[in-house]
Amino acid sequence: MEFILIASAHFLALLSPGPDFFLIMQTALRMPMRYALSVCAGIAAANGLYLTIAVLGLEAVRNMHLLMTVLKYLGSGYLIYIGYLLLRAPKRPLTQNEKQGFLRQQSFIRQFSLGFASACLNPKNAIFYLSLFTVMVSAETPLAIRTLYGLWMAGIVFTWDMGVAMLIGNRRSKNYLEKWIFGLEKISGLMLSLFGILLCLD
């Protein structure tokens, strides 16, 4: 029953589009699928980091106000910067082969880092996982079981994000969305900037 409760709460949180969704969308539309999957792996790794902290019962991290404040402002600046890059990007066809620029560099490490930073610099991820394990996981639950919970959730994050990337980034979807790509890019930039501003004001 405990597993069903935390798995359900976690999945419901995944259904709500956040900064990671818009980062995955623009990568899947503009770059080969392997780089979108690198972004997904980076996001899952950052979630795994916070899950490790939660699994080990390090609730004290949530009370480190200086750390949370630094994360908040770094994350806010990062999201606003990514949003700014998308907002100022010129109109160009999907067939244009882009290999340069902060967002478009065809490097597994770069794209992994973009995804990792997006999820890691969002203090709400840390708060969510710490709250989830504090409220829904019994103190009597063995470490091995809590570890399995964490592995499950990190795996679900990667699987879900990978599914989103494959749905958006396949050739049929790209052909369908091509005439709206400029608008979608601007919406992504606007949403990422908005997330950054709201994070800063929170």
Going by C-alpha positions, the residue among 61, 70, 202, 196 that lies closest to residue 126 is 61
Cβ atoms of 50 and 129 within 8 Å: the answer is yes
Residue 150 falls within a domain, yes or no?
yes
Q: Rounded CA gap, 123 and 133, in Å?
A: 16
Per-residue pLDDT at 166: 92
> Which structural domain, as residue segments, surrounds residue 184?
23-201
The mean pLDDT of 31-54, rounded to a whole number, is 92
Question: Any residues with CB less than 8 A from the CB of 81 and at least 6 apart, and which?
Answer: 196
The mean pLDDT of 79-98, rounded to a whole number, is 73
Per-residue pLDDT at 123: 78
Residue 146 falls within a domain, yes or no?
yes
pLDDT at 99 exceeding the cut of 60: no
Looking at per-residue confidence, does 123 or 167 come out higher?
A: 167
**Cβ contacts of 11-18, under 8 Å, gap ≥ 24:** 11/156, 13/128, 14/156, 14/157, 14/160, 18/122, 18/195
pLDDT at 196 exceeding the cut of 90: no
Looking at per-residue confidence, does 128 or 166 come out higher?
A: 166
Residue 13 falls within a domain, yes or no?
no
Residue 9 falls within a domain, yes or no?
no
Residues 133/163/122/39 CA torsion (nearest 10 deg): 130
One-character DSSP codes across 86-147: HHHPPP--TTS----STTT---HHHHHHHHHHHHHT-HHHHHHHHHHHHHHS-TTS-HHHHH
The string of pLDDT tens digits covering residues 134-164 is 778 887 888 888 889 999 999 999 999 999 9
Per-residue pLDDT at 17: 76
Looking at per-residue confidence, does 62 or 196 come out higher?
A: 196
Residue 7 falls within a domain, yes or no?
no
- The token pair that represents 66 in the structure block: 């200086």
Q: Please tell me whether residue 1 adopts helix, strand or coil conformation.
A: coil
Residue 77 falls within a domain, yes or no?
yes
Residue 1 falls within a domain, yes or no?
no
Angle between helices 2-14 and 123-136 (to 10 degrees): 160
Name the domain count of the chain: 1
Residue 59's pLDDT band (cuts 50, 70, 90): low
Average pLDDT of the chain, as a whole number: 82
- Portion of the chain with pLDDT greater than 90, in percent: 21
Per-residue pLDDT at 39: 94
Residue 100 falls within a domain, yes or no?
yes
pLDDT at 61 exceeding the cut of 60: no
The mean pLDDT of 14-21, rounded to a whole number, is 82
